[in-house]
């Protein structure tokens, strides 16, 4: 290959791979740097897998006033389920109880239990 020895070719290929990987990582970091930063959760030394909730996740959301974006900020609620919640709210005028949220397709008992402490009816 262009007059290089076998070992030199391997080194060049490795350097190219490292260059591409570094470029990919830099592009990935730049893409996410434009998003609002969320406080980093800290891990205890004994249980690194158990994340401590930050203030971001302690916010409450009104089921009867929330925007789609506010609903999406809740754990386990993506754009599709957020739209379903808004549609249900529109069709039924408003939520009368938090439990009524389980009537929305995609909100099961587990999801409801995860988010109910972050919900209000105000």
Domain 55-120 architecture: Orthogonal Bundle (1.10)
Lowest mean pLDDT among 3-12, 41-50, 72-81, 103-112: 41-50
Which residues, at least 6 apart from 43, have a Cβ–Cβ distance to it below 8 Å?
49, 50, 51, 52
Fill in the DSSP letter of residue 98. Answer: G
Model's pTM, two decimal places? 0.54
Report pLDDT digits (tens) over 25-77.
877 776 655 444 443 433 343 334 344 444 445 578 999 999 999 999 898 89
Domain ranges (residues) in the chain: 1-33, 55-120
The residue with greater pLDDT, 13 or 51, is 13
């Amino acid at each position: 290959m262009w007059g290089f020895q076998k070992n030199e070719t391997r080194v060049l290929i490795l350097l190219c791979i490292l260059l591409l990987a570094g470029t990919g990582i830099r592009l990935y970091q730049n893409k996410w740097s434009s998003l609002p930063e969320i406080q980093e959760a800290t891990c205890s030394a004994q249980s690194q897998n158990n994340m401590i909730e930050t203030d971001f996740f302690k916010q409450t959301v009104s089921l009867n006033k929330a925007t789609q974006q506010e609903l999406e900020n809740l754990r386990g609620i993506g754009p599709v389920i957020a739209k379903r919640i808004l549609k249900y709210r529109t069709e039924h005028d408003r939520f009368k109880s938090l439990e009524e949220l389980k009537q929305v397709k995609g909100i099961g008992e587990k999801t409801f239990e995860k988010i109910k402490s972050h919900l209000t009816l105000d």
